[in-house]
Amino acid sequence: MKRRDWLMLLALSILWGGSYLFIRVAVAEITPLTLVFARVTIAATALGIWLTATGEHLPRGGRVWLALAGMGLLNNIIPFSLIFWGQIEIGAGLAAILNATTPLFTVLAAHVLTQDEKLSPAKIAGVFLGLAGVAVMIGPQALAGLDRSVAAQIACLGAALSYGLANIYGRRFRTMPITPIQTAFGTLAASAALMLPIAAGIDRPWTMAPPGVAALSALCALALLSTAVAYILFYKILSSAGATSISLVTFLIPPGAILLGAIVLGERLEARHIIGMACIGAGLAAIDGQIIRRIKGAPRDPQRAA
C-alpha cells in the first residue's frame, strides 16, 4: 500500500467506526430493512447531487449497471440487513469483533478467486494477529453475549463474509470506465432500487410511528458520513491497493473509535487498548509485507512511497 492509501484507510476507519453508534441509536426506532433503504437512498441522493454539481456524468451502460447492482447486493443490501438485525440483539463491541473477521474471509476468497492476492504465511499470521488485537482491545465484556443470541452473531459473521466477497467482486471496476465517486453513487443507487420493494413489502414503514430526532440524526450521519463520504474512500483504496488491503479497515475501526474517545471525550486509555493496538499494528505490518521484505533485505518498492 502507498502512503496515501494508508491515510485514506485511517480516515475510512474513523467514518465507519462511528457507524456502530449511529446504527445502535437508529435501529431502536427504525426497522432494519427500512433503515437499510433509507441509508442507501440518502447517500445515493447526496452523491448524485455532488456528481451533478461537479459536472461528472452518471454511470452509463448495461454492463456497468449490472456490475454495480451485484456490488450493491454484496456490499450493501446483504451485510447492512444482517448487521442491523444483529445489533438489535448484540452490542456494538461484539458486532465489531465479528465484523473484524472480514480480512480472514477476504484473504481466503482472494486466494481462491484471484491470481495476484494469494495466501502467504505472513498474511495468515497478520489476519489472526489483527483479530486478536481487536478482541483484546474491546475487552472480555464484549464477549459476554457469546452464550446467547447465536443467530445474531451468525448474522454478523454472514455480513463479514459478504463484505469479503464484495472486496473481491469490486476489483472489476478497475477495468471499467468509471471513477470511484461514480462507482459509489451507482452502487448505492442500485441498492436503493433493489431495497425499495423489499422494505415496502416486508416492513411497510408508512404504518409505523415516525422516528424521533435522535434516530433521524443518527440516520443522516450514517448515510452522509459513514456511507456517502466513506464509499468514495472505499472505492479509491480498492482501485489502488486491492481487496485484501481494503479489508484491513475492520481492524482499524475499534482503535480509531477508542482514540477518538480519548482525544475528544477524555476517556482513559487502558493497558489492553495499547496491547490491542500493538497486535493490530503487527498484523497490518505482516499483511502489508513491507517491513518483512526490508528485514530480508529485499529492495524497497518505490511505488509504495507515492
Letter string b/e over residues 199-231, b meaning 16 or more CB atoms within 10 A of that residue's CB:
beeebebeeeeebeeebbebbbbbbbbbbbbbb
Average pLDDT over residues 286-301: 59
CA distances from 102 to 79, 107, 178, 205 (A): 11, 9, 26, 31
Q: For residue range 160-170, what is the model confidence (pLDDT) as tens digits?
A: 899 989 988 98
Phi-psi region of 90 (alpha: psi -120 to 50; beta: other; left: phi over 0): beta
- pLDDT value of residue 262: 65
Residue 184 vs residues 5, 61, 76, 208: alpha-carbon distances, Å: 17, 16, 11, 30
Whether 181 contacts 50, CB under 8 Å: yes
Render pLDDT for 240-258 as a digit per residue (tens, 0 to 9): 877 767 777 777 777 766 6
38-65 b/e with 16+ CB inside 10 Å = b? bbbbbbbbbbbebbeeeeeeebeeeebb
Q: What pLDDT is stored for residue 303 in this prediction?
A: 43
130-151 mean pLDDT: 68
CA distance 247 to 27: 25
Check whether 154 has a pLDDT greater than 80.
yes
pLDDT of residue 299: 53
Q: How many residues does the chain have?
A: 306
Cell of 39: 441509508
Which amino acid is residue 292, in one-letter code?
I
Q: Which of 104, 163, 109 is nearest to 135 (CA)?
A: 104
- Is 144:93 a contact under the CB 8 Å cutoff? no
Domain hosting residue 42, numbered range: 3-305
Per-residue confidence (pLDDT) for residue 141, from 0 to 100? 62
**What is the predicted pLDDT for the residue at 144?**
60
Rounded-to-integer distance, Cα 157 and Cα 130, Å: 16
pLDDT at 291 over 70: no
Find the mean pLDDT for residues 29-44: 93
Please state the rounded mean pLDDT for residues 231-243: 82
Write down the pLDDT at residue 36. Answer: 92
Q: d(Cα 105, Cα 164) in Å, to the nearest integer?
A: 5
pLDDT tops 70 at residue 200? yes
pLDDT (tens digit, 9 = 90+) per residue, 63-119? 899 999 999 999 999 998 998 888 887 776 667 777 777 887 888 888 888 777 777
| Cα–Cα distance, 33 to 39 (Å, whole number) | 10
13-22, 107-116, 261-270: range with lowest mean pLDDT: 261-270
Q: With cut-offs at 50, 70 and 90, classify the pLDDT of residue 128.
A: confident
Rounded distance, CA 39 to CA 46, Å?
11
Selection from 141-145, 187-191, 261-265, 292-296 with the highest mean pLDDT: 187-191
Residue 101 has what pLDDT? 79
Residue whose C-alpha is closest to residue 162's, from 78, 231, 235, 103: 78
- pLDDT of 133 reads 76
CA pair distance 132, 264, nearest whole angstrom? 26
69 and 186 Cβ atoms separated by less than 8 Å: no
Where is mean pLDDT largest: 44-48, 92-96, 145-149, 164-168? 44-48
Instruction: Give Cα separations from 304 to 15, 20, 288 (angstroms).
Output: 24, 32, 11
CA distance 284 to 303: 19
Q: Which pLDDT score, from 0 to 100, does residue 93 have?
A: 66
Report pLDDT for 19.
Answer: 80
Count structural domains, the chain: 1
